[in-house]
A and B are shown apart, each in its own frame.
Chain A
Amino acid sequence: MKIKTLQDLENVRKAGIKKLFPDKPRIAVGLATCGIAAGGQDVYEALETALKKKGVNAFLTKTGCFGICNEEPLVNIAMPGKPLVILHKVQKEDAESIAEKVAKGKLPEEKALCKIEEWDHITSEKPFFYGKGYENIPLWNEIPYFKPQKKVVLRDAGIINPEDIEEYIAVGGYSAVYKALTKMTPDEVVEEVKKSGLRGRGGAGFPTGLKWEFTKKEKSDVKYVICNADEGDPGAYMNRNEMESDPHMVIEGMIIGAYAIGASEGFIYVRAEYPLAIERLKLAIKQAKEYGLLGEHIFGTEFSFDIRIATGAGAFVCGEETALIASIEGKPGRPRPRPPFPAQKGLWEKPTNINNVETWCNIAPIIKKGGEWFSRIGIERNTGTKVFSLVGKVNKVGLVEVPLGTTINEIVCHIGGCGIKSKEIKAVQTGGPSGGCIPRNLFDTPIDYDHLKEVGSIMGSGGLVVMDEDTCMVDTAKYFLSFTVDESCGKCVPCREGLKRMYDILEKITDGRGTEEDLGILDELAHTIKATSLCGLGQTAPNPVITTIKYFKDEYMEHIKNKVCPARVCRALIDYFIVPDKCKGCTICAKNCPVGAIDGGPGLIHIIDQSKCIACGTCMDVCPFDAVVKLSGEKIDTPDKPIPVKKGR
């Protein structure tokens, strides 16, 4: 059916509500990529079989990711009139017992992570009330992981079915489009976005309203909007999740943006490595067209707009806006100098407004609740929330949405629950290969565009990689450099030649061949590349090196002066030894050593021949007695040749 009027929208909304609140139990399995990777699809199928077998009258469906990826697969169950309960670490073997309990109107409470009594989808007229009950299950926002979070972008993720437009409409979806198209002029829309203070979530934080205004002002018969879904930072997957869990919110944002600037066509540029996101976006576009929300005369107005999907082949630099545009045009993805900015000359030389996925996701709430409402979230000049992907050496990994201005400490320690195996956290890396490493003593830094810049990092797209005492900061810098060296398009000399030279120096240092002079050259190169590169890739690629030298110079000096890697990561600087008192002569290490560097025999104390050892660490991994130690710059006494293990041990 085509939605033309408010009444039409209301009718679909009612149909959607029936799916969200059916008069029978609703069981939804988290099937974003994270859930599927943890076995969610198997759980879904097992539940389907079990429910059928036992003849349980329940509504089984899929949903996106609720953000706590550690606990996947997640399954949420809502009994009519009762709270929505989120079950975690559900295995396919649990399906039968879940089906049995549900048949009796009960829940597997032992599997419950938390419950939701009331949920604010932001875009709906009022919050949804599920019900009260289950005293033993904590409320979702009482558990430490969610307590400091505020879900604006992830308002529907993990609750609605991302493949059903009716459920999206049920939670107020597309009502912001209705409002914009029928009650607001394009200027008013731009004004509202400006008032919200929203800044681009793609990395640089440019004010979105202002960018829209630039594109709006350009005179042209054709204009375009683009959604940048190229998300290439290692460790970042917010955008993927946003598209997989709630694709319609991206589309809704783009429709409103297109109306504001006067565009008739839009493109979503998604990397081909995101097949599920592409599939769900395609489906969402198809549904939106069927319902008349894309295409000619949306809501019976003069405004027509359509969206196409373009897939990228995985080059990081294609996330840069001018390279992205070249790529859509079918040209090699190489950036070009700006100005002219895309707002002046973009896709096929026409004025083009390009925003990140998450930027678009914020538009519907801004139009629905007003820019003023949005500007009250977060802090001054940094309004709204930001979704971060918290990964690395931290207890709880997942997608975290917090108001801008939340401190690093709050995110890493309170939400993430600090280091794994109570290891000491050393730093956090923000902004991917363009960002920097922020040391522990600066963890009270609020995460927002301005404060991160002050400490030498950037917000980037929202990756937060936690590092602990086992992370070598020189090695980390080298890792990011190897990434940017690989991903440099090769057009301009500082990025193409300079980054490679920086990488070579870092390799020299981690190999124990570095000198103090090298540090100086590194610094000189870093600043030259930052200042003279053509695009943002080169302009930011030295950041990981600059910040690690700034905050962890002692680690560099240890590598250079003492040939020691304090975190015992750099292979050339570490040695493995077998502790004679602990070795039981089991021969496992000798059998597994790939280069035959271990001498020994049954009942003999084994010895590693340091001249043959390649420091691969296999012996340490396989030793059942923890007898192998890894050292840097130190030695332990070992016998000259294998001698019998002392009896009685």
Chain B
Amino acid sequence: MKKTVRIKINGKTYEAEEGESILSVCNRENIDIPNLCFNEALAPYGACRLCMVEVVNGPGKKGMTTSCTLEAVEGLEVVTDTEQIVKYRNVLFELYLAQAPNSEEIKEMAAKYGVTKTRFAKKAKPLDPLGNKCVLCGQCVRVCDEIMGTAAINYIGRGFHTKINTPYLEKNDACMGCGACAEVCPTGAIQMEDIYDKRIMKSWSGTEVKLKKCKSCGRYFAPEPIAEFAYAKLDPEIKEELKDLCPDCRRKLLSRKEILISQGEVSKNED
């Protein structure tokens, strides 16, 4: 068990696990801090710079820092909304509005903090591969690498010209079509679509992933690599029975079995 420590946020005392990120604590305690690159499931990244807080007391360095990378230690004291933080954050929102002018999510988030306009030229044509909605928070890249172990997408180029996509902007076989990237994207930038027997990762250079056909109803239900990925983790016996069934048919099969068991027609240990 990790040690529990007491920290102060905006003058109020909270308990936290030692080493836990201050942003996690704030999320749990409903203390509002905007953020784009933080995800509990991923390693802290510190790129969006929106989650700034000011350390006013504690064993480490004082001053402004990102709360997602700030670890809870006994006696740490931070404030979340200083005049300075608000001022700098507003400029960052303006930069985001110019970088991702087509993202409704970014507009909403900025508006929530009172920023509705930007003084900087909005990115126009040529559109980036993600339709000028991407803010390069890197959640998609990290979930693909850290969680799925696939690393099908990555950064291309550097600086102002950085993009996220598949290598050489070509279709990438490594992609399993799991869609975790689209799931974590905070700006709605990642597009994918299932068309008949294929999943098309529109944002990832049109990468195509074959879908698995349900052996019972014939419906295409999940990307093949993901199904295989999941089967590899299953108990081999269960695997055979449930293999290649769509979720609906799987449920049907199982409930039918339950009924048969309850009617005593099949003994529980039979299979």
Contacts and interface: CB of A to CB of B under 8 A. Distances in A.
A485 interface: yes
B119 interface: yes
A163 B152 CA distance: 47
Contacts of B154: 332
B136 A496 contact: yes
A534 B46 contact: yes
Report the interface size class on chain B: 35 or more
Q: Main secondary structure on chain A at its contact with chain B?
A: helix
Interface in A525-559: 525, 527-528, 531-534
A500 interface: yes
Contacts of A531: 64, 84, 88
A496 B92 CA distance: 11
Nearest to A504: B121
A7 B75 CA distance: 57
B160 A496 contact: yes
B158 A521 contact: no
Contacts of B91: 498, 524-525, 528
A500 B161 CA distance: 10
A486 interface: yes
A488 B15 CA distance: 38
Most B CB atoms within 10 A — which of A490, A493, A494, A499?
A493
B262 interface: no
Interface residues of A, number: 31
Given A490-B136, A493-B95, A528-B91, A534 B49 contact: yes
A493 B46 CA distance: 10
A337 interface: yes
Nearest to A336: B46
A532 B155 contact: no
Contacts, number: 87
Nearest to A495: B159
Contact of A337 (B66, B95, B121): B66
B135 interface: yes
Given A332-B155, A494-B92, A525-B91, A488 B47 contact: no
Contacts of A315: 158
A79 B126 CA distance: 70
Contacts of A527: 88
A337 B136 contact: no
Contact of A493 (B48, B60, B87): B48
Contacts of A336: 45-46
Contacts of B136: 490-491, 493, 496
B155 A490 contact: yes
B49 A490 contact: no
B134 to A, nearest CB: 12
Interface string A422-442: 000000000000000000000
Nearest to B154: A332
Contacts of A532: 49, 52, 64, 88, 92
Given A497-B98, A497-B99, A498-B95, A490 B88 contact: no
B218 interface: no
A499 B60 CA distance: 29
B245 to A, nearest CB: 41
Interface string B150-166: 00001101111110000
Nearest to B44: A337
B64 to A, nearest CB: 6
Contacts of B158: 315, 488-490
A339 B87 CA distance: 25
Nearest to B66: A337
Contacts of B47: 491-493, 534
A493 B99 contact: yes
B49 A492 contact: yes
Interface in B149-188: 154-155, 157-162
Contacts of B221: none
Interface in B17-72: 44-49, 52, 60, 64, 66, 69, 71
28 contacts: A315-B158, A332-B155, A336-B46, A337-B44, A337-B46, A337-B69, A485-B159, A485-B160, A487-B159, A488-B158, A490-B160, A490-B162, A492-B47, A493-B47, A493-B48, A493-B99, A494-B95, A496-B136, A496-B160, A497-B96, A498-B91, A500-B160, A501-B95, A501-B98, A521-B119, A524-B91, A525-B91, A532-B64
Instruction: Please provide the 4 A-B residue pairs with the shortest distance between their CB atoms, ordered closest to farther.
Output: A490-B162, A337-B46, A488-B159, A497-B95
Given A337-B66, A492-B49, A528-B92, 7 more contacts: A337-B44, A490-B161, A493-B47, A496-B160, A501-B95, A524-B91, A528-B87
